[in-house]
């Protein structure tokens, strides 16, 4: 389930359906700031203020705060007892806060959408940076930004999303925060399957899907296995198979078997990036919670 609050206060509480995990993403024009989180559990226990992130023009760091009530694993808030609300405290103004919790997987039939969005195809393997092999997240974000008429140089995105605490560019929330600086509402959300995602495609909204696979799980995958990878869902073939811009593929535009991709995506949590113009924020929430 996705909840977006905008505008926000210095302290904003977001009530959620009971969940063991959640992701808090935010949009802000501020260049520097610090966010902390308090977790409210179904058993009445309340966490202390847990350090979440700190950011400045030259650095971003996930702080992974924890106590006996809840913990933050880079960009995922976790509790052994279901959480029912999350409070966010910020020392800078935030344009929006989004909280997403996992949704129940549902049976999926071949999507009725028979279209492919015109999403620019970009490779994560850059001639100027031959040593970098893991830039799938910023490259997927670059494709989403370019789709909305806001093209970016991939190394520029890397410089603005790299997490010094995590040691990489794959922190979902830093990527969404960066996209939110350019007139877009950008959030991390959880979807129930490919037919759920098809609603976004029908509305003209591409999605960056986060998935992982072991050897043999995803026929045609660019690597034998992956602990985490992002690629942009741009549409579906006439047979209902998903068509993606996969930045790790040589040809980038790739069609995967529907059942295989859905299985590895949902097993990885069903997480997806979405970015839309600000005036479509309510539509984004409606589609996410459909």
Q: Residue 280 has which token pair?
A: 């479509």
Of the pLDDT bands very low, low, confident and very high (cuts 50, 70, 90), residue 228 is: very high
Identify which of 205, 218, 67, 81 has the alpha carbon closest to the alpha carbon of residue 143: 205
Task: State phi, psi for 268 to the nearest 5 degrees.
Answer: -90, 5
Q: Looking at 114-118, 233-237, 261-265, which range is the least confident one?
A: 114-118
Locate 245 and state its tokens.
Answer: 């811009």
Domains of the chain: 2-100 (2.60.290), 136-288 (3.90.70.10)
Say what the pTM is: 0.96
Percent of the chain surpassing pLDDT 70: 98
Residue 111 has pLDDT above 70, yes or no: no
Is pLDDT at 6 greater than 80 in this prediction? yes
Tokens of 175: 């990527």
How far apart, in whole angstroms, are the C-alpha atoms of residue 170 and residue 74? Answer: 10
Q: Smallest Cα–Cα separation from 86: which of 161, 25, 29, 34?
A: 25
Question: What does the pLDDT look like over 55-99, one tens digit per residue?
Answer: 999 999 999 999 999 999 999 999 999 999 999 999 999 999 999
pLDDT digits (tens, 9 = 90+) for 181-192: 999 999 999 999
Question: Could you give the angle at the alpha carbon of 95 between the alpha carbons of 29 and 284, nearest 5°?
Answer: 120
Return d(Cα 206, Cα 197) in angstroms, integer. Answer: 9
Confirm if 290 and 284 have CB atoms less than 8 A apart. no
DSSP string, 152-166: --HHHHHHHH-BTTT
Residues 142, 118: contact at Cβ < 8 Å? Answer: no
pLDDT over 80 at 107, yes or no: no
Evaluate if residue 112 carries a pLDDT over 70. Answer: no
């Amino acid at each position: 389930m996705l909840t977006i609050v905008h505008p926000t206060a210095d302290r904003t509480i977001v009530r959620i359906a009971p969940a063991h995990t959640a992701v808090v993403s935010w949009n802000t024009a501020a260049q520097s700031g610090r966010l902390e989180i308090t977790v409210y559990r179904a058993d009445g226990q309340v966490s202390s203020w847990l350090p979440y992130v700190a950011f400045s023009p030259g650095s971003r760091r996930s702080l992974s705060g924890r106590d006996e009530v809840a913990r933050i694993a880079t960009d995922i808030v976790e509790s052994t007892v279901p959480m029912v609300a999350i409070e966010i405290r910020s020392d800078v103004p935030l344009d929006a806060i989004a909280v997403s919790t996992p949704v129940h997987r549902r049976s999926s039939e071949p999507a009725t959408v028979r279209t492919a969005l015109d999403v620019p195809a970009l490779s994560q393997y850059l001639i100027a940076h031959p040593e970098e092999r893991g830039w799938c997240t910023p490259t997927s974000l670059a494709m989403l930004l370019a789709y909305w008429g806001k093209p970016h140089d991939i190394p520029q995105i890397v410089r603005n999303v790299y997490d010094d605490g995590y040691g990489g560019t794959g922190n979902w929330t830093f990527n969404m925060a960066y996209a939110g600086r350019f007139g877009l509402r950008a959030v991390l959300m959880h979807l129930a399957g490919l037919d759920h995602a098809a609603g976004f495609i029908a509305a003209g909204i591409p999605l960056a899907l986060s998935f992982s696979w072991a050897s043999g799980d995803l026929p045609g995958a660019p690597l034998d296995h992956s602990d985490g990878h992002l690629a942009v869902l741009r549409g579906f073939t006439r047979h209902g198979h998903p068509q993606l811009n996969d930045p790790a593929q040589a040809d980038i535009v790739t069609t995967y078997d529907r059942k295989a991709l859905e299985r590895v995506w949902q097993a990885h949590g069903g997480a997806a990036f979405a970015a839309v113009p600000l005036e479509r924020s309510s539509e984004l929430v409606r589609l996410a919670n459909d």
